[in-house]
Amino acid sequence: MGKYRDIVIAVALFLLFDLGVLLVNFYTSYQISEDALGINLAGRQRMLSQRTAKALLAVSAARNQGLASPADLDELRDAVQLFDASLKAFQLGGTVPGGNNQPVYLPPVASRQALAALQQAQALWIPYQQVLAPVLQGRASDDQLQAAGAYAQAHNLQLLGQMNALTTALEATASQRADRLRQVQTAGIVLALLNFGFILFKFLRRLRQSDAAIDAATEENREILASVREGLFLITPDFRIGSQVSQSAHQLFGHPLRPGDDFFALLASRLSDKALQDAKDYVELLFAPHVKESLVQDINPLLDVRVQLPNRLGQEVQRTLAFRFNRVRVGAAVAHLLVTVQDISERSALQATLQAERQRAQKELAMLLAACEADPALLRQFVARAETSLLEVNELLRNTAQGQPALQHALDQAARRIHALKGDAGALGLDSLVHQAHDFESALLQVRAGGGGDPLLALPLPLEELLGKISALKSLAGLQRGMLAQATGTALNTALQRLATELATAHGKRVTTRVQMEQHGALSAEAADLVREIATQLTRNAVVHGIEAPATRQASGKAATGQLEIQLQRQDAEWILRIRDDGRGLHAASIRQKLLDLGWYTALQLESFDERQIVAHIFKPGFSTAGTLSVHAGRGLGLDVVQADVQRLGGRLTLASTTGQFTEFTIRFEI
């Protein structure tokens, strides 16, 4: 601090000069603004004296013609009142209407010339007011009106002259103050320039003394930076790259780095918006001296950055870079961050391979464990139906050429089968198979939506993987041949309860499920499969779409836990399957809006539909009220599968729902 004392004192004097000039400018400008107001109002006084005389003459002329002149009389009153109020304000100070009729404060005049003009004007105005009093009251005789007119003719020019003198005196005062302001400003600028010259002289001398030491240190830094293999450079608190950059840093970034470049601008093309913002937040934390560096090292978002860099042949290849930051402190403050950049592509690739294999093995193990815990008969039924469905999908895709009109129908059929398989796998807790079926379902719908090239070529591989999974489960089911040939209703009860619970947990909901499917075992094998599939899809639909979140239910006066009932019973020759939830119910207006959003109909077309016709669209393929696509909802295939299965059963499906209370699906069929 001692070696910069002269500069500090000079800067303090500079600020003091500036403050003094600013205060004088402010005070003088305030006075000038008051003078400007006075000049404006003095000019108005001249106009008011003329208005008074003109209005008086108009009143007199109307009297001579025997006419009433209320407008001229009002004009005379207004002019006299405003002139008198302004004249008193100039003498004593006061609030008067301004140019825009808003009240303004007029300070009393102080110059001798202005006061003399006001005194003479007052001497003329008082007799003028006296002769005008009867006229203003509207009861002046002809003689009084004539006397007022005679006074106005005799003294109006004198009164106007005094107002001119007042204006001239006020203008002179304002001019003097403006001259004083210019003198103060000139003196302040001269002093500031002299002070600036002193500061500049001192600074340049200090700068020359330190240049030699800096040049020597810079040369040593260059030698070090040219030899290290890592990318090394400093960034400043405003995120700019420092003057020294290692040779390896240019190669790791794929282009030369220039001192002063914005560090995050260099990363912008390599990171997503969120990752870039996370990196900025992290670097800002490191520049905050109160944050401990050791506590935030683990949240570094730039430890694994994938970039495209040219190789030795000039081809773009993906590399993985790791950025690490270390603080450079000056006292207690963080002056810079030392950035170390390393190419960790090989290590990252190895870690990714190991992680993928580990996850794949865990998923396979989890699926096999879930299969072992599943009811043997249910598992064997699922495997048989899944294998049949996948082979049917394979046949559909193999026998349908791209471009044929039948392609869309074949893809719809395939998507229904895969969606049903996904639902059955979820009921058995086979999560790995659920996700794999979901991915294949996405591929099918992508082909249906249209894509470049020949998108059908992308389908055989995931289909083959699904068949491989089913084959493994088939082998496992073969070890259980001693079990029942057909699943019991109790096992299906357990599977549906587990499915509802898992779906509710995944969506942040709570549900109590009562399942009565004990008579399921009395159905034929084909009917049993279809009923199980229908129950599974409607269970998913009820939990995902029907049951509300606990907070929503409580807000509407319901219990936080939703109720789901699934029941299969026989009445004489007829079978009845009911699935009922006490959720939000169906809302025709929401379905109507969704149809508009999907572009299926126009608003005019929908006006001709009644509520029953609107609600019926929930069974159309591709219709879904889910806000976002997930593995459990959003395809618009669940109820489409249900409708197709009911048709295969030869049954009837009815729907009952009350908005905010419940939704109930009832399927009746005979076998």
* Residue 299 identity (one-letter amino acid): I
**CB of 233 within 8 A of CB of 246?**
yes
Domain spanning 360-485: CATH 1.20.120.160: yes
pLDDT value at residue 100? 76
| Predicted confidence band of residue 578 (pLDDT cuts 50, 70, 90) | very high
Domain boundaries, the chain: 2-198, 228-343, 360-485, 488-671
pLDDT value at residue 479? 52
Q: With H, G, I as helix, E, B as strand and everything else as coil, classify residue 493.
A: helix
pLDDT value at residue 483? 43
pLDDT value at residue 23? 80
Q: With H, G, I as helix, E, B as strand and everything else as coil, classify residue 641.
A: helix
CATH topology of domain 228-343: Beta-Lactamase (3.30.450)
Tens of pLDDT, residues 308-339: 777 666 677 778 888 888 888 888 788 888 88
**CB of 14 within 8 A of CB of 146?**
no
* Residue that wins the pLDDT comparison between 283 and 293: 283
Q: What is the mean pLDDT of residues 512-541?
A: 89
pLDDT value at residue 559? 94
pLDDT value at residue 484? 41
| Predicted confidence band of residue 438 (pLDDT cuts 50, 70, 90) | confident
| Predicted confidence band of residue 6 (pLDDT cuts 50, 70, 90) | low
> Does residue 625 register a pLDDT over 70?
no
Q: Please name the residues in contact with 233: beta carbons below 8 A apart, sequence gap of 6 or more.
A: 241, 242, 244, 245, 246, 249, 257, 338, 339
> Does residue 163 register a pLDDT over 80?
yes
pLDDT value at residue 652? 93
> Domain 2-198 - what CATH class?
mainly alpha
Q: With H, G, I as helix, E, B as strand and everything else as coil, classify residue 335.
A: strand
CA distance 601 to 588: 15
CATH topology of domain 488-671: Heat Shock Protein 90 (3.30.565)
Lowest mean pLDDT among 9-23, 36-50, 51-65, 490-504: 9-23
Q: What is the mean pLDDT of residues 252-259?
A: 80
DSSP letters, 313-342, are TS-EEEEEEEEEEEEEEETTEEEEEEEEEE
Tokens representing 503 are 């779906």
CA distance 387 to 94: 100
Q: Please name the residues in contact with 350: beta carbons below 8 A apart, sequence gap of 6 or more.
A: none
Domains 2-198 and 360-485 share a fold: yes
DSSP letters, 549-570, are PHHHHHHTT--SSEEEEEEEEE
List the beta bridge partners of residue 139.
Answer: none
Q: Please name the residues in contact with 213: beta carbons below 8 A apart, sequence gap of 6 or more.
A: none
Q: With H, G, I as helix, E, B as strand and everything else as coil, classify residue 244.
A: strand
* Residue that wins the pLDDT comparison between 150 and 217: 150
Alpha helix (H) residue ranges in 2-111:
5-64, 70-92
pTM: 0.42
The total number of residues shown for the chain amounts to 671
In the predicted model, what is the mean pLDDT of the chain?
80
